[in-house]
């Protein structure tokens, strides 16, 4: 994920800052991630916070949703607005609101 994120943020075709949709809906084992694992992922995004306005995380399950929710290790370690979503359309709508102002 780190390599893909780096390539995406470094692309000349990507505006900066940009809203990010992190689709974890197909991530096997996401529910088994610890708070420390999610904190490390959040830190990856946090280190690049100047490049991003918001991070929406599309997540498949209640357990993963709860781990990523406000106050969770991921949200606290990013330092940028981030929220989990189960619905892609709602995630995109939330991201677009940040682009509108």
Query: Considering the entire predicted model, what is its pTM?
Result: 0.73
% of the chain surpassing 90 pLDDT: 10
On whether residue 6 sits in a domain, the answer given is yes
User: 76 is written with which tokens?
Assistant: 């606290």
Angle (nearest 5°) at CA 14 between 4 and 72: 55
Query: Cα(62)–Cα(75) distance, rounded to whole angstroms?
Result: 16
On whether residue 100 sits in a domain, the answer given is no
On whether residue 101 sits in a domain, the answer given is no
- Full domain range(s) for residue 74: 2-95
Task: Give the number of domains in the chain.
Answer: 1
The H-or-E segment that residue 96 falls in is: helix 88-100
Q: What is the band of 23 on the pLDDT scale with cuts at 50, 70, 90? A: confident
% of the chain surpassing 70 pLDDT: 75
On whether residue 52 sits in a domain, the answer given is yes
Per-residue pLDDT, 14: 73
């Amino acid at each position: 994920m780190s390599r893909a994120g780096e390539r995406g943020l470094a692309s000349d075709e990507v505006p900066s800052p940009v809203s990010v949709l992190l689709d974890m809906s197909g991530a096997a084992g996401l529910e088994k991630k610890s708070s420390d694992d999610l904190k490390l992922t959040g830190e990856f995004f946090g280190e690049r916070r100047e490049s991003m306005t918001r991070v929406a995380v599309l997540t498949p399950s209640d357990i993963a949703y709860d781990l990523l929710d406000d106050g969770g290790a991921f949200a606290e370690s990013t330092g940028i607005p981030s929220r989990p979503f189960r619905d892609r359309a709602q995630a995109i709508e939330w991201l677009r609101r940040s682009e509108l102002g």
